[in-house]
Amino acid sequence: MWSPNTVQISASNYLTIEPPNPDVITITEGDTLHLNCSSVGNPSPSYTWTLPTNSPSYSGSVLTIKSVGFEHEGQYICTVSNTVGTVTKEFNIDVQGECCQILPGKRVTEDQS
């Protein structure tokens, strides 16, 4: 029976991550890359990133690389954990170079002799 001095608590433990794994993400060399590993959970989840480079792992929900190079290409894995379980999200990154580049060089002329 309910009384003014009674407190009812209803809670469930859960862990979800959204959105699902995206297709390949293409970024231009030199641009900034932001990977967002959004999740909700009860209890609050922790984050661990596995990077394709030999860089140390990162432990926040958003991974930022300020100036992307070809060495940053590959698969990034975000692992989200709490006491309920573990969920992973994969990001496949493709780094593209500039479309056209003008190189300094000699001027070529046709020999008309």
Radius of gyration of the chain, Cα coordinates, nearest whole angstrom: 24
User: What mean pLDDT comes out for the span 90-104?
Assistant: 76
The answer to whether 22 and 91 are in contact (CB under 8 A) is yes
CA atoms of 29 and 88, how far apart (whole Å): 26
Neighbours of 9 (CB within 10 A): 4
More confident residue, 109 or 55: 55
Residue 101, burial from CB neighbour count under 10 angstroms (0-12, 13-18, 19+) = exposed
User: What mean pLDDT comes out for the span 3-15?
Assistant: 46
Q: Could you give the 3-state DSSP secondary structure of residue 42?
A: strand
pLDDT tens digits along 10-28: 345 666 666 566 678 999 9
Q: Please identify which residue in the block is written with the tokens 């008309």.
A: 112
Nearest to 93 by CA among 59, 60, 45, 49: 49
pLDDT band of 112, cuts 50, 70, 90: low
Per mean pLDDT, which of 7-21, 33-47, 95-109 is the most reliable?
A: 33-47
pLDDT tens digits along 40-49: 888 889 999 9
More confident residue, 68 or 22: 68
pLDDT at 5: 41
CA atoms of 9 and 24, how far apart (whole Å): 43
What CATH fold (topology level) applies to the domain 30-96?
Immunoglobulin-like (2.60.40)
Domain boundary assignment for the chain: 30-96
* pTM given for the model: 0.69
